[in-house]
Amino acid sequence: MQLDQLRTLQAIVVEGSFEGAALALHVTPSAVSQRIKALEAEVGRVLVRRSTPCEVTDAGAPLLRMARQVDLLEAEARSELGLAEGRRTIVSVAINADSLETWLKPLLHVAATWPDLSLHIEVEDQEHSVDNLRRGQVCGAVCVAPQPVSGCRVVPLGAMRYLPVAAPALRDAHRLGRSVDWSAMPVMQFNRKDDLQGAFLRERGVETAPPTAQVPSPSGFYEAVRAGLGWGLVPELQLADDLRTGRLVRLDARRHVDVELAFQVWSLASEPVTRLTAAITDCARALRHGPAPRQNESHL
């Protein structure tokens, strides 16, 4: 396999199409197609799923990861030799939306000071972000997976705490004694992958989903909870003064959900990877450190 073939594979995934890769590499679409066909013939497997956008196959994932790692190592070597010439190297990372909306916001300001790196963020649920790492699409992922992906190491970050909250009017409309009617009260969902509220309900014996509203945006989700569209598990870091002022009420003062987060990142000895890891772990100081209470453990 040749370096130009690996870079072509990477360009197809980044740009989403053979035509986009051709523009990025300043070659013809025919040249892009020939390079990929030659690489697939050499390894005897299909490496790119010709969809919209194009995606790497399971067989192509190790080659995509190698292409990204070669880029990082080449950039580091050029920098040491004084040959960087203003070039920027892409560092891609998968981050869940709640983290990006709260404790990881400072990462954007830190990355803005990097003259040699361009930060690419893929927003993915913390339960699934590690899949992006397996496919070679990113060099690191904020996730909940405790076991390291092959060729990666795990850096514990801390626990992100979620509280079950609702608008007072919604809570009052579904009171049931000293609690609420969990089976009838409308609930929020971030997207189809979001099972945080579902798991919370199942622990309370609710097997059939109540009326569910979906808003796939952290700020939109929060605003929907404030508006009374449904109750939701909201990051404690996002609640600000709404509990104190009474705009939102906590549905169960004794219950919460702690999600242990980790940063899975390539074990590659690369300065850009080390720099990204340091920036993310520094931001994680806003999280709860040390062994977090068990999920839904009572407050003291």
CATH classification code of 160-258 = 3.40.190.10
- Which residue spans of the chain are classified as CATH 3.40.190.10? 160-258
- CB-neighbour burial class of residue 213 (10 A; exposed 0-12, middle 13-18, buried 19+): middle
CATH architecture of 1-59: Orthogonal Bundle (1.10)
Q: Record the pTM.
A: 0.79
Give the count of beta carbons closer than 10 Å to the beta carbon of residue 86.
6
110, 276 Cβ separation under 8 angstroms: no
| Three-class DSSP category at 214 | strand
- Which residue spans of the chain are classified as CATH 1.10.10.10? 1-59
**Mean pLDDT in residue range 219-242:** 94
The CA-based dihedral angle spanning residues 275, 276, 281, 283, taken in that order and rounded to the nearest 10 degrees: 110
**Which ranges of the chain does DSSP label H, i.e. alpha helix?**
3-15, 18-25, 29-43, 61-80, 97-101, 105-111, 129-134, 168-173, 196-202, 218-227, 242-245, 271-283
Tokens standing for 86? 């203003």
pLDDT tens by residue, 74-120: 877 877 777 766 678 889 999 999 999 999 999 999 999 998 899 99
pLDDT tens by residue, 114-143: 988 999 999 988 777 888 888 888 999 999
Backbone phi, psi, residue 151, to 5°: 85, 10
